[in-house]
Amino acid sequence: LQRWAPAEFAPPPLAAGGSSARDPTQDTAGATPAPQTDPGTLEGLLDRSTLDAIRALQRTGATHLLERVIAIYLEDAPRLVRAAMQGLQQRDAEELRLAVHSLKSSSASLGAIRLAAVCKEIEVKATAHQLDDIEPQMADLEREFRRVQQALEAERLRSTG
């Protein structure tokens, strides 16, 4: 989020004990899993609490922060998906890893937890140079990314309306 938010927006305060918000792509014992969604709908693709946290950073009288963050994501993320595909096509594990790592982080920052988890699976395989059986996860990435794009476009329209 700091990458996309202008300097005038301070990051959210640290949680008690000085730790920052949890990484939603990290496994934690006893954590509640992300809600399962109907693959045919856009509902539930985005974690509402994450979007609400971005809205909470909005200053009175300033341009809509969430709308701007979504616009930047929708502009930048397709490039990362293309870079990941190119990395796979060229059998360049490092290019693939870097692209999905960036996409994982930016997707998690907007509450696209399932997409971030798919990116993490691919990142782990790319780090281990295990590219031979990665096509199913890449298909998941493309499918989930298209759904997240649609959900974010709908969210952006909702935010401005």
Identify the DSSP state of 110.
T
Report pLDDT for 62.
Answer: 64
Q: Cα–Cα distances in Å, from 69 out to 6, 25, 58, 72?
A: 10, 20, 11, 5
CA within 13 Å, CB half, 149:
14
What does pLDDT average to in each consecutive run of 10 residues of the chain (161 residues)?
A: 45 42 40 40 78 85 83 97 97 98 97 97 97 95 97 85 61
Q: Which of 43, 130, 37, 46 is nearest to 91 (CA)?
A: 130
Identify the DSSP state of 35.
P
Global pTM value: 0.73
- Give 128's contacts (C-beta < 8 A, 6+ positions apart): none
The two tokens of residue 129 are 């140079």
The two tokens of residue 138 are 């890449």
Report pLDDT for 161.
Answer: 61
